[in-house]
Structure 1
Amino acid sequence: MSHSKVRVRFAPSPTGALHIGGVRTALYNYLFAKKFGGDFILRIEDTDQTRFVEGAEKYIKDSLQWLGIEPVEGPDQGGPHGPYRQSERKSMYHTYAQQLLDAGLAYMAFDTPEELDALREDYEQNKKISFKYDASVRNRLNNSLHLSPVEVEALLEAKTPYVIRMMIPEDEEVFFNDLVRGHVRFDTNELDDKVILKADGMPTYHLANIVDDYHMQISHVIRGEEWLSSTAHHVLLYQMLGWEDSMPAFAHLPLLLKPKGSGKLSKRDGAKFGFPVFPMRWIEPDSQDEYQGFKENGFLPEAFLNFISLLGWNPGDDQEIMSMDTLIKAFDIEKISKSGARFDYNKALWFNQQYIIQSSNETLLDYFKLNFPSIYDMADPEYMAKVLELYRERIHTLIEFPESAKPFFSDDYFRDDQQIKKRYKEENDELYAGMFEKIIGTEPFLQANLKASVESYVEEKESKFGVILPILRLAIAGILQGPDMFAMMEVMGKEKVSTRLEASIPYFKSVKMRKDE
């Protein structure tokens, strides 16, 4: 291989939202480039105009930006090998398609879609096999191999639509070494004559990505395993165009599987099981169906990237939490698994929780301010930071924070009436009132002092913490679960705590009355 520098590309089609599998492909390309001091390039493969979706390209770029996977060359960045949209490189593909025609390595096919559909149906009904446009049929179909030069010229003068197909040689084998799967072999008799230039003048993926990879000096093609079966055609095209010495190395990534491991993960799985499969919110332009992304579900980008990095690859040890720098150093393409990786949303939640725990309050607040301003504006930053400190180990996503910490921000918080009915004893009202008075009189109003006050009160009254503390927590927070009760009271402050304690006994009595009724 003649490449002197690692250059990889992420080349999505703007036909919809960027799926989590595409994000993983982009990440692996990025890690590989960074590990070897190479270049990560974004190329938009928009040759399929029939499937083009408005807004998809922007969505792809916005997603990569959120994740910090920034290309050094691309549609927005520019670069020495542009344009970086295939639709803007149309004339180049015609040149090479014509070169293959002139060399007798490709041919013009005038078959209509209706004719080909009829052939497929005939094969399925009578031959019980799928129709394949290859050496066994090419010399009797409506193409420049079967038709006379005069007939071809007449069709061209009549502006009859045609495609250009590559001519696969017979009785040969195509070999290449895949960095993930090892030695791969294809029998050319099993390959069809792929269309390389469509009737609308646009190239297919097969021609366009070969031409672009060659001119952009791509050293490694790292992509999903769905392209493995097409790689034989791509190897042949490199050979046909005389570029064999510049052919990149190939690595085909395993599929991302459904949570139960059967079949490829799809956006329908996310809707069915209630988890995101896109990095960011996506609204289908036609149906207006909305899909929430990992970002809107409260994931930190670093946690999301760490999670997907281990879907099909691991560093060879038990290490799981890895920063981007660590991932770059540890990444080894030969340690990518050949088998599919099962998507586990619970594991994704675990990763996000670890990153929330590790992040400083300032970092989290800055992220709230940028991405969730309504949460950031719930209180002043100093108060928010104190509350956040109490909940960082109790939430898995950032959007859980407002609801989990609702007692700190609103008097309209959840009250566990079942626990109130169970724990509140009207005959203990005097005991509760004395405890509340002790708490309100504590100075300074700090966690350690509040705890000491309650402990001394329990000892003085010869009571038990199991009698006192549940009532105190229900009065302050409404539920029995949550952070340390005394830390909560310190953060809330004496005024809010006093108001809650004074209102609690009347509320408890009203709940008890509802029970007695």
Structure 2
Amino acid sequence: MIDTFSKNGKRKSKRSMKITHVIRGEEWLPSAPLHIFLYDCFGWLKSAPKFAHLPLILKPDGNGKLSKRDGDRLGFPVFPINWTSQEGEVFPGYREKGFSSDAFVNMLSFLGWNPGTDKEVFSMTELISAFSLNRVGKSGAKYDYTKTKWFNQQHLRLKSDTDLFELLILKDDSILNNFSKEFILKVISLVKDRAVFVSDIFDEASCFFNEKIDFDSLAIEKKWNKQMIPHLNNILDSLVALEEFVAEDIELVFKNYLQSNNLGFGKIMPMLRIAVTGKIAGPSLFIVMELLGSSKVQGRIKYALNTIV
């Protein structure tokens, strides 16, 4: 309590380091009177730091303090970075799982504290400005991994397309061999709201970066209607006839065809999306089609019509 080690290995007291506040877990609360008494014994009581005790982080299920074993059991990290035990066992860290430092700190701050408003997403600067020990709760906070991923998603959305581009290239710069920075930035802008981690951008943008797409078998089972194939062929013909292959014109052609043939949006739109992207969900399909270009869209629709049975 009184001593700590400096960088050169020599002991330095907390008093000589001029520490003003000691903030620690509530399991230290019973020891606080003894620690204050020690300061009094040394004649340091007037310069003793202020002590604050934080509620424990609790297990997501049941009662008790969160432990590394809970992370193993429930499939989430409990360390900021990879940690190796003395026995050689490696425990994964949040950094290695793809969490940003801003999101991680934001999540931790809300385990036992709240700003008294509905605002949840904070930058470090905002947290420093808003934080007060007066708003720290007295009861433990249950850890929520889903909420932790939500924080990461929110902070990812706050990043500029250029920042995300740099992070993406750090993970895999091979996409620059086939695609321009300008194109990649457009793709990032389109798909980033669907990503939780930077690596998710590759998955969400697979229809842009891969020549061959894999069709989601469950999507085909649910939404591919053989009776609608003639209509998909007709829509393809209309798309081929477009002078400018831009999202607004693609959407107009599609909606005009539905209206003239008395077709519901949900009858043919899922089939078109599956044909173009391989998936049943995603960002605006008309913008996706514009980015892919007329030739690639035509080829994919034809491939889907000839492949999906």
How would you bin the TM-score normalised by the shorter chain? 0.7 to 0.9
Contact 1:275 1:345 (C-alpha < 8 Å) held by counterparts:
yes
Quote the offset at 1:256 in angstroms: 0.8
Q: Percent identity?
A: 36
Partner of 1:277 in structure 2?
78
Q: Distance in 2 between matches of 1:332 and 1:424?
A: 56
Q: Are 1:84 and 2:28 counterparts?
A: no
Q: Distance in 2 between matches of 1:309 and 1:375?
A: 37
Partner of 1:367 in structure 2?
167
| 1:365-399, Cα deviation, whole Å (9 max, x unpaired) | 233345x3468758543222222222222222323
| 1:70-119, Cα deviation, whole Å (9 max, x unpaired) | xxxxxxxxxxxxx336xx115xxxxxxxxxxxxxxxxxxxxxxxxxxxxx
Q: Are 1:308 and 2:108 counterparts?
A: yes
Q: Report matched runs for 1:334-413 at 5 Å.
A: 334-370=134-170, 372-373=171-172, 379-413=179-213
Match of 1:318 among 118, 135, 143: 118
Quote the offset at 1:412 in angstroms: 4.5
Secondary structure of 1:214's aligned partner:
coil
Residues 227 and 409 (structure 1), Cα distance of their counterparts in 2 relative to 1, 3 Å cut: same
Residues 424 and 240 (structure 1), Cα distance of their counterparts in 2 relative to 1, 3 Å cut: closer
Q: Distance in 2 between matches of 1:246 and 1:376?
A: 59
Quote the offset at 1:445 in angstroms: 1.5
Any stretches of 5+ residues in structure 2 without a counterpart?
none
Any stretches of 5+ residues in structure 1 without a counterpart?
1-10, 12-43, 47-82, 91-210, 513-517
Match of 1:436 among 236, 254, 257: 236
Count of paired positions: 307
Q: Are 1:245 and 2:166 counterparts?
A: no
Match of 1:216 among 17, 21, 27: 17
Quote the offset at 1:346 in angstroms: 1.5
Q: Distance in 2 between matches of 1:303 and 1:505?
A: 44
Contact 1:391 1:405 (C-alpha < 8 Å) held by counterparts:
yes
Give the TM-score taking structure 2 as reference length.
0.88
| 1:309-362, Cα deviation, whole Å (9 max, x unpaired) | 111111222221222222112111122122211111121122222222232211
Q: Distance in 2 between matches of 1:464 and 1:226?
A: 62
Q: Report matched runs for 1:101-140 at 5 Å.
A: none
Quote the offset at 1:404 in angstroms: 2.6
Residues 344 and 453 (structure 1), Cα distance of their counterparts in 2 relative to 1, 3 Å cut: same
Residues 328 and 499 (structure 1), Cα distance of their counterparts in 2 relative to 1, 3 Å cut: same
Contact 1:278 1:294 (C-alpha < 8 Å) held by counterparts:
yes
Residues 283 and 385 (structure 1), Cα distance of their counterparts in 2 relative to 1, 3 Å cut: farther
Partner of 2:57 in structure 1?
256
Residues 437 and 216 (structure 1), Cα distance of their counterparts in 2 relative to 1, 3 Å cut: same
Residues 263 and 359 (structure 1), Cα distance of their counterparts in 2 relative to 1, 3 Å cut: same
**Equivalent position amino acid for 1:368 in 2:** L
Q: Distance in 2 between matches of 1:392 and 1:313?
A: 29
Quote the offset at 1:453 in angstroms: 1.6
Partner of 1:167 in structure 2?
none
Contact 2:239 2:250 (C-alpha < 8 Å) held by counterparts:
yes
Q: Are 1:488 and 2:291 counterparts?
A: no
Quote the offset at 1:449 in angstroms: 1.1
Q: Distance in 1 between matches of 2:221 and 2:47?
A: 77
Secondary structure of 1:221's aligned partner:
strand
Q: Distance in 2 between matches of 1:428 and 1:258?
A: 51
Residues 403 and 292 (structure 1), Cα distance of their counterparts in 2 relative to 1, 3 Å cut: farther
Quote the offset at 1:363 in angstroms: 2.2
Contact 1:375 1:402 (C-alpha < 8 Å) held by counterparts:
no
Residues 423 and 335 (structure 1), Cα distance of their counterparts in 2 relative to 1, 3 Å cut: closer
**Equivalent position amino acid for 2:298 in 1:** S
Quote the offset at 1:231 in angstroms: 2.6
| 1:267-299, Cα deviation, whole Å (9 max, x unpaired) | 111111111212223344642x33332223332
Q: Distance in 2 between matches of 1:318 and 1:424?
A: 43
Contact 1:365 1:376 (C-alpha < 8 Å) held by counterparts:
no
Secondary structure of 1:443's aligned partner:
coil
Match of 1:478 among 278, 281, 288: 278
Q: Report matched runs for 1:461-476 at 5 Å.
A: 461-476=261-276
Contact 2:228 2:267 (C-alpha < 8 Å) held by counterparts:
no
Larger Rg: 1
Residues 501 and 283 (structure 1), Cα distance of their counterparts in 2 relative to 1, 3 Å cut: farther
Secondary structure of 1:367's aligned partner:
helix
Q: Distance in 2 between matches of 1:343 and 1:503?
A: 47
Residues 249 and 442 (structure 1), Cα distance of their counterparts in 2 relative to 1, 3 Å cut: same
Residues 497 and 290 (structure 1), Cα distance of their counterparts in 2 relative to 1, 3 Å cut: farther
Residues 236 and 375 (structure 1), Cα distance of their counterparts in 2 relative to 1, 3 Å cut: farther
Contact 1:368 1:375 (C-alpha < 8 Å) held by counterparts:
no
Contact 1:297 1:399 (C-alpha < 8 Å) held by counterparts:
no
Root-mean-square deviation (Å): 2.6
Q: Are 1:507 and 2:307 counterparts?
A: yes
Residues 445 and 217 (structure 1), Cα distance of their counterparts in 2 relative to 1, 3 Å cut: same
Contact 2:248 2:286 (C-alpha < 8 Å) held by counterparts:
yes
